[in-house]
Amino acid sequence: MSDCRKTNQVFALVDCNNFYASCEKLFRPDLRDTPVIVLSNNDGCVVARSKEAKALGIKMGVPVHLIKTDIRRHRIQVFSSNYTLYGDMSRRVMTNLEAMAPRVDIYSIDEAFLDLTGIDQVISFDAFGRQVKDTVYRNVGLPVCVGIAPTRTLAKLANYAAKKYLKTGGVVDLTDLARQRRLMARVPVDEVWGVGRKLSTKLQAMGITTALQLADTDLATLRKRFSVVLERTARELNGISCLSWEDAPAPKKQIMCSRSFGQPIRTLSDLEAAAAQYATRATEKLRKGQQYAGELMVFIRTNPFRPGVPQYSKSISVRLVNPTQNSRMIVQKTLSQLRSIYRAGYDYAKAGVMLSELVDETGLQEDLFESSCTGEEDAGRSYRLMAVIDEINQKSRASVFMARAAGPAAHTMRRGHLSPAYTTDWNDLPTVR
């Protein structure tokens, strides 16, 4: 725990309110006061809710088929997830944040940590938080909340308060110790960042029900009964920063691409089409991060939520002799692994491809373009081919792909409530009448 120190660091956590739902509302002013929900891939379960939908008691993660009656009765507007739109809106928010703070850690699609250390020499933390909030709203149109504190975990907590208590106006400065303790006394322990369902059950059994009680628990006990992770969380609640700034964003250790199918798949050839597509996508991500994969994993499975039907689930991993970022190679391997685990007679619901043992160029053995299967010249050519494919696909998503990924796409996602690509497609530009 040597990297945990009491410092004068200050973090702000900026988090968009009901991000996906807010993105949908932004382009539909007619829905201003209407409850809105956004669904996961395949229109499966609820992944975002507007404040009106939350007020109706719609729960996060609930399968949409369980709330059909609510949707009808309360005229809830339903949207399929539109990641093209959300990704574009996210970039706009982050660009604004980067213009306002010396250091920004993008933590997820809708939240980022800002380094506010020393900024109070110029402006109060609270006033700065309000500037951030107003700027993003003016320039992008999305509402955010800001939590400010000496550690990331406390900044998360401050953000929670900023969202929960309206009178804060969406900004909470939690740099004051007395204020930290007052808030923690009111916050249930399961709202603490890093405490999930399992941990909170165990903590409650020990009589620890609030964030403050967790902060005041003996550290050695926490380490012994749980792990260093929870010990670190407790330190962070006490203002000791254990999660600081990385010098460089850590390179990825694995890349996954998997999807549930829009409808069950039975045949090997339909599975092959899906797997080839996922392998292609995963390899694109690999090249984007300028990495090479040393291991490949393929899995297929039936739908575990239907216990009445025959179940089958299998994954297989294989080492790649030379780490590669070549789509052709990875698709080929994916297909041969898939064939070895496929069993006929099942309704498959999902497949996926994971690349791991990732290395960058410096981690490669010297025979960069010489593998056992391709001569140097051939490998150089396929490298250039990959670059060309990536360039084309960047302009027009998935125009060029491996032949095996074409054909009748039995696995295509269900997206029955998709909104237009307002910001990324000329044909979908919103018009003002």
The contact set with DNA (CB under 7 A) reads 40-42, 44-45, 47, 61, 63, 65, 107-111, 156, 192-200, 227-229, 250, 252-260, 264, 278, 285, 303, 305-306, 349-350, 352, 354
Q: Are 105 and 123 in contact (CB under 8 A)?
A: no
If phi over 0 gives left and psi between -120 and 50 gives alpha, with beta otherwise, what is residue 199?
alpha
Could you tell me the smallest distance in angstroms from the CB atom of residue 258 to DNA?
4
Element (H, E) at 349: strand 348-356
Nearer to DNA, 210 or 382 (CB): 210
Helices (H) and strands (E) in the chain, counts: 14, 12
Query: What is the torsional sign of CA 212, 216, 222, 223?
Result: positive
Could you tell me the smallest distance in angstroms from the CB atom of residue 356 to DNA?
8
CA 156 to CA 192: how far, in whole Å?
Answer: 8
Strand 111-115 and strand 11-16: the pairing is: antiparallel
Which three-class secondary structure state does DSSP give residue 302? strand
Which phi and psi angles does 342 have, rounded to 5°? -65, 135
Nearer to DNA, 45 or 183 (CB): 45
Could you tell me the smallest distance in angstroms from the CB atom of residue 46 to DNA?
10
Nearer to DNA, 174 or 199 (CB): 199
CA 364 to CA 368: how far, in whole Å?
Answer: 7
Nearer to DNA, 103 or 306 (CB): 306
Nearer to DNA, 29 or 249 (CB): 249
Nearer to DNA, 66 or 388 (CB): 66
What does the DSSP 8-state code read for residue 394?
Answer: H
Could you tell me the smallest distance in angstroms from the CB atom of residue 223 to DNA?
7
Which among 305, 308, 298, 283 has a CA at the least distance from the CA of 402? 283
Task: Tell me how far apart the terminal alpha carbons of the chain are, to the nearest angstrom.
Answer: 60
Nearer to DNA, 240 or 379 (CB): 240
Which among 168, 136, 135 has a CA at the least distance from the CA of 148? 168
CA 59 to CA 66: how far, in whole Å?
Answer: 11
Rg of the chain, C-alpha, whole Å: 24
Could you tell me the smallest distance in angstroms from the CB atom of residue 213 to DNA?
16
Could you tell me the smallest distance in angstroms from the CB atom of residue 140 to DNA?
17
Could you tell me the smallest distance in angstroms from the CB atom of residue 433 to DNA?
35
Could you tell me the smallest distance in angstroms from the CB atom of residue 283 to DNA?
12
Nearer to DNA, 87 or 118 (CB): 87
Q: Which amino acid is located at 389 in the chain? A: I
